Amino acid sequence: MVAFGYSLLCEQRGPRELVADAVAAEDAGFDFEVISDHYFPWLDSQGHAPNAWPVLGAVAAATERVPLMTYVTCPIMRYHPAVVAHNAATVALLAGGERFVLGLGAGENLNEHVIGRGWPPVNVRHEMLGEAVEIIGELFTGDYVNRSGTYYRVDSAKLWDVPDGGVPIAVAVSGRQSIESFAPVADAMVAVEPRSDLVQDFDKAAGMTLPKIGQQPICWGTDTDEAIALAHDQFRWFAGGWKINAELPGPAAFASATQFVRQEDVAEGLPCGPDVAAHVEAVRPFVDAGFTHVALVQVGGETQPEFLAFAERDLLPALHEEYGKPGDARIKVR
């Protein structure tokens, strides 16, 4: 049985609209919701990038049932780890009922360059993330934390409002090195590729079976050609792959890097149009790989209300009929 989630994509929606979409997604029957944490959109045509944390606070207050998660926050440059821990603990308390998971990753130049410190190589970013995860985990205990590490200093920090038992942490991984670093300390795995080897290696390194969260973009619409054109306009950046996407510095760079990506190339990578069966099949690689949670991204900010009506009426029933319906989509501290 697989939990199917809804992605609040900050790059394509304003803050008030994101909150309204979160409520509508809960009402539609989605099992959980994730939110991106960006300073920039990938492409200018997406047109938005509100701060994810105040939006999360409003979503936590406006929703009642649905689990929430950052997908994902980078705690290595733009945010100090102590600030991330503070934000996460507060949102978790606002959400209540073990509804919030802090998703963490090593980030993209797109968002982190804004503080003017340059963009470290990937091995350094993973070292920074490892140290950040340790600091965040220590702060979630509610104790005072002091640290003079390789990358961060923490001076007598303490979270005065934190859930009993802390906040679950999910960490994004892409290969053996990141799995060996983070599986022993994470409560769940995040990955953007539906690879069974990641699932198996993560559980082996963790010493137990843990939740795995993936994400699948789709572009539902009543006209297939219009849906393909929309997906090409706003989501062709996805074709570059994460090794490239993590390095490019801004929307202009993504526009230049994808100038030769054709509409048919995008249509091959994600389902476009009204066919329910095509959207159901799009998530099968994640299900077959052993992922427990799959968050759908509907491309196009203005399409969200109609998509959510379609999801409630047709898509979610079809997904649960094909792959089962989970009894509880919450992710807990192990």
Identity (one letter) of the amino acid at 161? D
pLDDT digits (tens, 9 = 90+) for 89-126: 999 999 999 999 999 999 999 999 999 999 999 999 99
Instruction: Give burial (CB, 10 Å; 0-12/13-18/19+) of 164.
Output: exposed
Lookup result for tokens 């005072």: 144
Does residue 243 have a pLDDT over 90?
Answer: no
- As a whole number, the mean pLDDT across the chain is 97
Phi, psi of 24 (to 5 degrees): -65, -35
Q: Are strands 68-70 and 212-220 parallel, antiparallel or unpaired?
A: unpaired
- Chain segment 175-197, per-residue pLDDT in tens: 999 999 999 999 999 999 999 99
Active site residue 38: yes
pLDDT at position 57: 98
CA distance 308 to 319: 14
pLDDT tens per residue, range 116-141: 999 999 999 999 999 999 999 999 99
3-state secondary structure of 54: helix
Pick the catalytic residue from 17, 26, 33, 108.
108
Which residues on adjacent β-strands are paired with residue 158?
A: none
Mean pLDDT of 286-309: 98
Residues 6+ apart with CB under 8 A from 133: 75, 81, 104, 169, 171, 182, 185, 186
pLDDT of residue 223: 98
Cβ 316 vs Cβ 4: under 8 Å: yes
- What pLDDT shows up at residue 242? 80
Catalytic residue among 11, 26, 38, 232: 38
Using DSSP, state whether 225 is helix, strand or coil. Answer: helix
Respond yes or no: is residue 98 known to be catalytic: no
In this predicted model, what pLDDT tens digit does every residue of 187-228 receive, in sequence order?
999 999 999 999 999 999 999 999 999 999 999 999 999 999
